[in-house]
Amino acid sequence: MTIYVVDIEHTIHTCPAQPEPHPYDVRRTVVDVIPGGPCRAPVTVRCGGQTVQIPCRRHEPAKRQCGACRVIVTERTITTRTPNGTAA
């Protein structure tokens, strides 16, 4: 499994159309990537007159991918701020 560790920062505000605080800017920063390794179940496809093996992550939906090709996103921190920079 390839694991992506991300930090998320929400900037919230209120406006006349929606008086409840709501995010208007969401930023995600990739902090770390832990690679899953080579594909353990490559898929054979035909390309022109040739047969080629490609990693299953390029061909199969997520539930049918091998363990090395699956992707997991882990949220390390979630920060909520107001437009003036203070933490909410």
Question: DSSP for the chain?
Answer: -EEEEEEEEEEEEEETTEEEEEEEEEEEEEEEEE---S-SS-EEEEETTEEEEE-GGGTS-GGGS-TTT-EEEEEEEEEEE-TTS-B-
Decide if 61 is inside a domain: yes
Q: How many folded domains does the chain comprise?
A: 1
Confidence of residue 18 (pLDDT cuts 50, 70, 90): confident
**Does the pLDDT value for residue 67 go beyond 80?**
yes
Q: Whole domain around residue 60: which residue ranges?
A: 2-81
Decide if 87 is inside a domain: no
Decide if 19 is inside a domain: yes
Question: Using one digit for the tens of pLDDT, what is the confidence trace for 45-60?
Answer: 998 889 999 999 999 9
Decide if 73 is inside a domain: yes
Decide if 69 is inside a domain: yes
